[in-house]
């Protein structure tokens, strides 16, 4: 079983990858966290049209696989779309990857990797 | 080897028949238990799926409201606060902790959000103007994030349950379609072998008793013939008693000789 108690005990933080507005709003809610100075790491990444896909991918891998203190990764759906392969292949229960809508891109349930599985399971 | 499932490599003895019978019983109990577990999990799974669907719809609405309140903020502040917010974020105020819930032996984590008191990275944000809007925006976003956390725990439960249900169903099918038929086959095999042995044994006994009967009949015929001869001889000679005894005695010991003597134990 993937979910041993130790694997999520010290996961306390949320991470976010998204456009500026989403990140600002979520930071205002108080999820922003910067680790202590030597190799300070932020738990958020602002993506705009100039951000490279590799950078998004690196941040995603960092949040999902390298850091052990993140419980939920929030990612804008249009950003997830750009690294769809990585998002779809990531199937571990921890951290939970959640696709959220952004201001400019309304939410499309058809693209969500989890909802896709839900739909497939129920044959809709 | 009948059917595709085959049988287990055992010797056809009564002992292994007993073993196989108890194994079959165990497999049947296990099958029904696992089936029930799978049903309980599936029920839960469907419920979670439904709730995920609902929560996703709700998330869409909540995020829309939150985005709108952020727009209000940038209108009131009159500029972009994004940079300032990103730079002043230091410690997470909003955190989650995981509890777990036990669904028929499967631990499902549930995230629970809590705010760590005493951390306020944005004390100075909106100090000039728009402080009230920022405050409201923070509250709206905090509510939105709570919804997101709820959704995240549902989603995690969904992923774990999905995996567990697959494993349980695989076990149920393995028991139903491999282990039970194979054990039944083995029992059938052992039974047929034992029957075979029984028949063999019966046949052998019958053969032996036939032989004995034949021997006895032969011995009887001999005795009868001897007596007749004796009688004839007596009729001719006229000295019945002694001769008859002489003739009969060895025959009597012969009849007794067929039975074994009881062992003498010292």
- Give the tokens for residue B222: 């001999």
Q: Positive or negative, the Cα torsion across A24, A29, A31, A35?
A: positive
Cα-Cα end-to-end distance for chain A? 29
Query: Contact B52/A118, CB-based, under 8 Å?
Result: yes
What does the pLDDT read at residue B251? 54
- Give the tokens for residue B231: 């009688």
Select from B261, B254, B250 the least CA-distant residue to B216.
B254
- Whether ipTM > 0.90 holds is no
> What is the DSSP-derived secondary structure letter of residue A109?
G
What does the pLDDT read at residue B263? 75
Query: Contact A5/B122, CB-based, under 8 Å?
Result: no
Nearest to B70 among A24, A114, A117 (CB): A24
Chain A hits for B52, Cβ within 8 Å: 114-115, 118
* Strand boundaries in B39-162, DSSP class E: 94-103, 106-115
What does the pLDDT read at residue A2? 45
Q: Return the residue of A nearest to B116 by Cα.
A: A30
3-class state of residue A98 by DSSP? strand
- Give the tokens for residue B134: 């920022």
β-bridge partners, A45: A17
At B175-219, the pLDDT tens digits run 999 999 999 999 999 999 999 999 999 999 999 999 999 999 999
> What is the DSSP-derived secondary structure letter of residue B109?
E
Spell out, as residue ranges, where chain B has pLDDT lower than 50.
1-2
> Residue B204: how many CB atoms within 10 A of its CB?
10
3-class state of residue A20 by DSSP? helix
What does the pLDDT read at residue A50? 84
Spell out, as residue ranges, where chain A has pLDDT lower than 50.
1-3
B42, B86, B124, B140, best to mutate vs chain A, most A CBs in 10 Å: B86
Instruction: Report pTM.
Output: 0.70
Chain B hits for A74, Cβ within 8 Å: 148
Residues B76 and A17 sit within 8 Å (Cβ to Cβ) = no
d(CA B49, CA B18): 46
Query: Contact A29/B142, CB-based, under 8 Å?
Result: yes
What does the pLDDT read at residue B156? 84
């Amino acid at each position: 079983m993937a979910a041993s108690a130790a694997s999520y005990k010290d996961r306390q933080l949320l991470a976010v990858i998204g456009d500026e507005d989403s990140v600002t709003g979520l930071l205002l809610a108080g999820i922003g966290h910067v680790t202590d100075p030597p190799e300070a790491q932020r738990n958020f990444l602002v993506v705009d049209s100039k951000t490279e896909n590799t950078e998004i991918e690196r941040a995603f891998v960092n949040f999902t696989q390298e850091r052990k203190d993140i419980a939920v990764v929030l990612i804008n759906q249009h950003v997830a779309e750009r690294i769809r392969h990585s998002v779809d292949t990531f199937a571990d229960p921890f951290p939970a990857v959640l696709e959220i809508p952004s201001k400019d891109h309304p939410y499309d349930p058809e693209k969500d990797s989890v909802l896709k599985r839900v739909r497939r399971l129920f044959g809709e | 080897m009948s059917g595709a499932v085959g049988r287990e490599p055992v010797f056809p003895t009564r002992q292994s028949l007993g073993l196989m019978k108890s194994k079959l019983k165990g497999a049947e109990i296990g099958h029904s238990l696992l089936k029930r577990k799978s049903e309980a999990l599936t029920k839960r799974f469907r419920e979670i799926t439904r709730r995920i669907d609902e929560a996703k719809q709700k998330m869409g609405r909540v995020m829309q409201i939150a985005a709108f309140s952020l727009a209000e903020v940038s209108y009131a502040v009159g500029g972009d606060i994004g940079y300032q917010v990103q730079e002043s974020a230091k410690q997470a105020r909003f955190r989650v902790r995981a509890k777990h819930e036990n669904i028929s032996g499967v631990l499902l984590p549930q995230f629970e959000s809590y705010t760590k008191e005493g951390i306020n990275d944005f004390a100075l944000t909106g100090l000039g103007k728009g402080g009230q809007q920022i405050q409201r925006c923070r509250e709206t976003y905090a509510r939105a994030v709570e919804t997101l956390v709820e959704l995240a725990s549902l989603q995690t439960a969904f992923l774990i349950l999905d995996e567990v249900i697959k494993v349980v169903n695989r076990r149920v099918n393995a028991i139903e379609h491999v282990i039970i038929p194979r054990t039944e086959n083995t029992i059938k095999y052992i039974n047929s072998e034992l029957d075979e042995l029984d028949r063999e044994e019966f046949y052998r006994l019958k053969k032996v008793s036939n032989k004995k009967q034949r021997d006895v009949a032969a011995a009887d015929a001999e005795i009868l013939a001897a007596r007749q001869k004796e009688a004839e001889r007596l009729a001719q000679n006229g000295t019945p008693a002694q001769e008859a005894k002489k003739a009969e005695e060895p025959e009597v010991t012969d009849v007794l000789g067929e039975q074994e003597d009881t062992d003498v134990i010292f």
